[in-house]
Structure 1
Amino acid sequence: MPKVSVAKRVALQAEAEPAVWHGRDLLDRLATAVWIFDIDEGRVVWGNEMALDIWAAVDLEELRARRMKDNMSPAVSRRLLQYQIDFIEKDAVFTEMWTLYPRGVPRPLQVRFSGFRLPDGRMAMLCEGRDEMSLVPEAIRSADVLLHTHLMISLHTIEGRTLYCNPAARADFDIRYGSLSDRFVDPHDFTSLLHQLESVGEARLIAEVYTAQGKRWHELIARSCFDPVSGSPSLILSESDVTELKEAEALAKKLAHHDPLTGLYNRLSLPLRFEELAARAQRMGSRISLLFIDLDQFKAVNDTLGHLQGDNLLRDVAGRLREICSEDDVVVRLAGDEFLFLLLQRQDVACRLKSVSDSVLERLSITVESDRHQLMVTPSIGIAHYPDHGTDIQALMRRADLAMYQAKAAGRNQVFVYNETLSRAREEELELLSGLRDGLRYGQIIPFYQPRVSAEDGSIIGMEALARWKHPKLGMVPPSTFIPLAEKAGLINQIGTIVLEQAVEQREQWMRNGIDLTISVNLSLRQLCETGFSDVVEACLNRHSCPPERLELELTETLFSESDPLVQENLNRIRALGVRIAIDDFGTGYSNIARLNELAVDCIKIDRSLVSQLPKNEEMVRLVISMCKLMQVTIVAEGIENETVAEWARSHGVQELQGYLYGAPLPAACAEKLARNSNLQFSKIDVDNNRFVAAGI
């Protein structure tokens, strides 16, 4: 039979015969304080004389009147509720060090707690306290700290059986997992803890554990010790809940490795994702196809419809790629409108690459609409294979990128697979780009000048400045080669500024030499999108004392229709300076006539593609000339190669002519000679070969 204390037996007898209270005198004579505590009500319902002394009570009635629950700390309340549950479910008995505070004065006691049924059937608590005032303060305080701390402290046998839990541990532990080993979600964590204890006598780890609140992450510190009761080898465990920290770390990791706009993996996560995929490919004897995807016309969506619409498009594209992607594949957003699709080619599905490529072409051909615009976005795709074209992600990306640019060059909305020819072409392009940067640094970019003549008398009335690159080894590099490269590399602004500055300065030099010409210079969209570009133009005019009406800036027809507010602001300010505005390549696109009139364009240059077809397409050119006359602008015909076309243009009201009939683009010195004597003719062959030999000189 279980051992029952004297106080318990007397209390049971008193409970059975409450009217008689046999043995009450005996209870009052005990040196042990005995009282019954109603856990639900939070008050003492009975106590002997020693209990009254411990609680500093005048009498029992006064003690029973105290509502201790009102001033009870949350830790004590939780502990008492734990006791109550264990009394009911396990008939448990506890002996612990407690500090009571009768009338605010601390009173440390060694208390034995056991369950006690009240007459109404509720579970109360029988308390037997022994005065421990002789204990050293450190012992008293340590016992109190164990009661109130949020740190979970527990004692276990080496096998994992629980010997003791402080209130925080008791509240957190899930009673369904009685053994310490059962509390670990991953059994390897418990094994690791024991291994560390065996090796160094101490263990520290963060593990996922089962708790009363479900699965949580705990930081556990374990030390080897001995059970102070049995002397058996044991381990003492302290735990703190670090779930919020782990969740924050997981969120930070997710944010660091995922694109915030689309939710796809980002560039930072790519090496790890590729390593995982490559390891699987090696195990399966498969290869990986890397699809480098770039969206055609995405910039037009941002510029025309706004960045909000562009962001919505990117989210839509990400969603469509997810639908194509299988569990074996990885989709990454690199930056802007560039995506990677890493496809694991399983041997049992040999044609999957074509299927996926076709799906990407189809699903990413998207019409984007607004109230006034409709744009078609398509994908250009370059493909490189692992391990055929490289074994590391950077090499594969470079080669897939080369193939993607080949797809764009071939007309966009296409798929190209990398080959060695692309690599050689890219190396040549990079070498040329490096040379172009040096060319800008060392003054190799210079303007050549092509004359514009009066249709009436053939006199030279202006010069168009055209950028040329005088390479020290390659000679004259064609603009068709280096201008697209400069635009792609973001160098076109520097080239435009250099040509503008040199052309205006050259005009000033000619003026000092008695030659008064209008100088025209081409503008790029990048220049007009630069804040304060109009200030650059004004400063250049002032620096070289150039009358604004003697400078003409040429914009392509498509550029002139640009609706960007910054472009519009720069054009308005340039026009306000008195600088002439010309529309180049007119007839190759769609122009808003109302917009042309709004800005009061000074000159329209009919594109050489129309002029060169004369007289076969004379009806179309007549229509263009009629439109120009209605706008009352100067009309220039470009691409005049022979006298027949020149005569047709003169007879239909064209005011200025430009083309090889009157002179190819020439260096400044040759252009000056030509301006002094328009009868000079520079051989086109000599011009192309950079000899500039004038006939008859």
Structure 2
Amino acid sequence: LICSGTDITEERRAQERLTELANTDSLTGLANRNAIQDKIRAAISSAPDGVSVGILFLDLDNFKKVNDHYGHVFGDRLIKDVSAAVGTCLNEGDTLARLGGDEFIVLAATGTVASLEATAQRILDRLRTPFSLGLVEVYTGCSIGIALCPEHGDSLESLIRSADTAMYVAKDEGKRTYRVFSQEMDRKVAEYMWLDTNLRRGIDEGQFTLYYQPKLSISTGAVTGAEALIRWNSPERGQIMPTEFIRYAEESGLIGHLGRWVMQTAAAQAARWKAAGLNLRVAINVSARQLVDTAVVRHFAEALQQAALDPCLVDLELTESCLIEDEAAAIQLITQFRQLGAQVHLDDFGTGYSSLSQLGRIPLDVIKLDRSFVRSINENTKAQALVRSMVAVAQELNFKVVAEGIETEAEEAFMKGLGVEYVQGFLYGQPMPAVEFEQWLRERQKLRLIA
């Protein structure tokens, strides 16, 4: 009898080491994406009837800014410290894993909404304490999405997708909070996905148009200009109002492309009206997100140049949020716009948070009273007092005033009594395509001649 033996101890150890490496995040030592996915699949398949499997999806808030400012080595140290801190907030039997970047998942030992929410809150409370990395203290936080199987998904993929969706809702609703998945969130994500695809296509295929609402001199009744308002003519849904897509355009970064198109289209229309003998100023809306791009002034100048519009007949309407985020940068941009011949209007005045001292520093031309104040003046004496005060402030600062949302002759008379210079609203005309606006203008001019 001849026997032979081979010692496979080292081979087995090497295989175990490879398996460990394949399932461990090299930076934190936590379970990695592969490992946690296997654990979640096993938990789902072995869960008794009536027992839920719960997960928390964590994403650090503003981690990219920390990483960009201090460097990747600093960022890696923060990730390690955060993972250790989160680990102290878990229940016995919970599993923490790093998916990559600044994303983590917790597989909970107890799958109830109450226990998952309690864990999420402990994590949020812990991350309110700053992390000391050398001489630097860094405040970070996270947004957390919570999902359970089978309530929010009956597979690994659907469960993680639901938790991820809930996390993005938490981030969208202010960050440093948690949200439990709901079907309404799914509908919101589906809407965002539709917008992401179709808004890009709409820009490429020229599905947008500008409507123009007239602006009049309250003393003479003459039409002095128009506000350009964007409309999306979707082949699938018909006309879509800006309230339904502008916010997404801002969040997705598409607002720059859309804003540039508005500048070019409005400038071209103002040039056509000028050539036809109509000296009308066209005001366009510019968001705070657009002003972040320092090339916005160059794009505006290029739009004027392409339309051969000299002097400039395009004005800009900014909201108070544009002034609050970075006053110095806002002043610089406004000055540059005005040097190109544009007037700058402060839109929705009275609804934001700009201070009187700040208004005194901003080189504005016109203040627009928000329609919410105009609507209330007939029934509310406090609204009347507010409007009087706002008009008086504007006049003291040498700003012209536009009252928007005028719908009745009584509202017009009230504004006229305060010395408001310009009005805009359904009493005079709704937003119209350029051709309809021109027809409306001709008919109005005929009526004025007869009168």
How high is the TM-score relative to the length of structure 1?
0.53
Where do residues 413-562 of structure 1 align in structure 2 (5 Å cutoff)?
415-547=178-310, 549-562=312-325
Where relative contact order (Cα < 8 A, 6+ residues apart) is larger, the structure is 2
Letter of the 1:523 partner, please give it. V
> What is aligned with 1:290?
55
For residue 385 of structure 2, the aligned residue among 619, 643, 655 is 619
For residue 321 of structure 1, the aligned residue among 83, 86, 99 is 86
Query: Matches of 2:384 and 2:29 in 1, distance apart?
Result: 55
Partner of 2:339, secondary structure, is helix
Cα distance change on mapping 1:653 and 1:515 into 2, 3 Å: same
Partner of 1:324, secondary structure, is coil
Cα distance change on mapping 1:652 and 1:513 into 2, 3 Å: same
Letter of the 1:641 partner, please give it. E
Higher strand share: 1
Contact 1:603 1:633 in 2 (8 A): yes
Letter of the 2:388 partner, please give it. R
* Structure 1 gaps, min length 5: 1-157, 161-180, 182-187, 194-204, 209-216, 218-245, 369-375, 682-697
Shift of 1:388: 4.6
> Cα deviation per residue 1:26-58 (whole Å; 9 max; x = unaligned)?
xxxxxxxxxxxxxxxxxxxxxxxxxxxxxxxxx
Letter of the 2:42 partner, please give it. A
> What is aligned with 1:344?
108
Partner of 1:561, secondary structure, is helix
> What is aligned with 2:427?
661
* Structure 2 gaps, min length 5: 132-138
> What is aligned with 2:363?
600
Contact 1:345 1:353 in 2 (8 A): no
Query: Matches of 1:331 and 1:490 in 2, distance apart?
Result: 31
For residue 629 of structure 1, the aligned residue among 384, 395, 400 is 395
Where do residues 12-411 of structure 1 align in structure 2 (5 Å cutoff)?
189-190=9-10, 192=11, 257-258=26-27, 269-279=32-42, 282=45, 287-293=52-58, 320-326=85-91, 328-332=94-98, 339-346=103-110, 351-360=114-123, 362-363=125-126, 381-390=144-153, 393-406=156-169
> Cα deviation per residue 1:419-463 (whole Å; 9 max; x = unaligned)?
445434433442343222221111111111111111111211011
Contact 1:287 1:385 in 2 (8 A): yes
> What is aligned with 2:342?
579
Partner of 1:345, secondary structure, is coil
Letter of the 1:344 partner, please give it. A
Partner of 1:495, secondary structure, is helix
Query: Matches of 1:595 and 1:314 in 2, distance apart?
Result: 40
Cα distance change on mapping 1:539 and 1:400 into 2, 3 Å: same
Contact 1:345 1:352 in 2 (8 A): no
Q: Does 1:678 align with 2:444?
A: yes
Shift of 1:383: 2.1
Letter of the 1:613 partner, please give it. S
Partner of 1:443, secondary structure, is coil
Shift of 1:631: 1.4
> What is aligned with 1:95?
none
Partner of 1:677, secondary structure, is helix
Letter of the 2:432 partner, please give it. L
Higher helix share: 2
Cα distance change on mapping 1:626 and 1:451 into 2, 3 Å: same
Q: Does 1:645 align with 2:411?
A: yes
> Cα deviation per residue 1:574-606 (whole Å; 9 max; x = unaligned)?
233232211111111221444444341111111
The alignment covers a number of residue pairs equal to 426
Shift of 1:502: 0.5
> Cα deviation per residue 1:76-127 (whole Å; 9 max; x = unaligned)?
xxxxxxxxxxxxxxxxxxxxxxxxxxxxxxxxxxxxxxxxxxxxxxxxxxxx
Larger radius of gyration: 1
Query: Matches of 1:409 and 1:526 in 2, distance apart?
Result: 16
Cα distance change on mapping 1:422 and 1:629 into 2, 3 Å: same
Cα distance change on mapping 1:443 and 1:350 into 2, 3 Å: closer
Shift of 1:560: 1.9
Cα distance change on mapping 1:400 and 1:652 into 2, 3 Å: same
Shift of 1:503: 0.6
Cα distance change on mapping 1:629 and 1:568 into 2, 3 Å: closer
Shift of 1:465: 0.8
Partner of 1:502, secondary structure, is helix
Percentage of identical aligned residues: 30
Partner of 2:316, secondary structure, is strand
Query: Matches of 2:349 and 2:250 in 1, distance apart?
Result: 22
Contact 1:450 1:464 in 2 (8 A): yes
> Cα deviation per residue 1:360-381 (whole Å; 9 max; x = unaligned)?
455556899xxxxxxx998654
Q: Does 1:609 align with 2:358?
A: no
Contact 1:293 1:404 in 2 (8 A): yes
Cα distance change on mapping 1:465 and 1:365 into 2, 3 Å: farther
Query: Matches of 2:30 and 2:334 in 1, distance apart?
Result: 42
Shift of 1:272: 2.9
Letter of the 2:215 partner, please give it. R
Contact 2:291 2:322 in 1 (8 A): no
Shift of 1:610: 2.0
Contact 1:287 1:345 in 2 (8 A): no
Cα distance change on mapping 1:293 and 1:637 into 2, 3 Å: farther
Query: Matches of 2:304 and 2:35 in 1, distance apart?
Result: 56
Cα distance change on mapping 1:302 and 1:637 into 2, 3 Å: farther
Cα distance change on mapping 1:636 and 1:350 into 2, 3 Å: closer
How high is the TM-score relative to the length of structure 2?
0.79
Shift of 1:257: 4.8
Partner of 1:637, secondary structure, is strand
Letter of the 1:636 partner, please give it. V
Shift of 1:318: 5.5
Cα distance change on mapping 1:417 and 1:637 into 2, 3 Å: same
Contact 2:33 2:97 in 1 (8 A): no
Query: Matches of 1:280 and 1:586 in 2, distance apart?
Result: 55
Cα distance change on mapping 1:302 and 1:409 into 2, 3 Å: closer
Query: Matches of 1:458 and 1:436 in 2, distance apart?
Result: 39
Contact 2:264 2:303 in 1 (8 A): yes
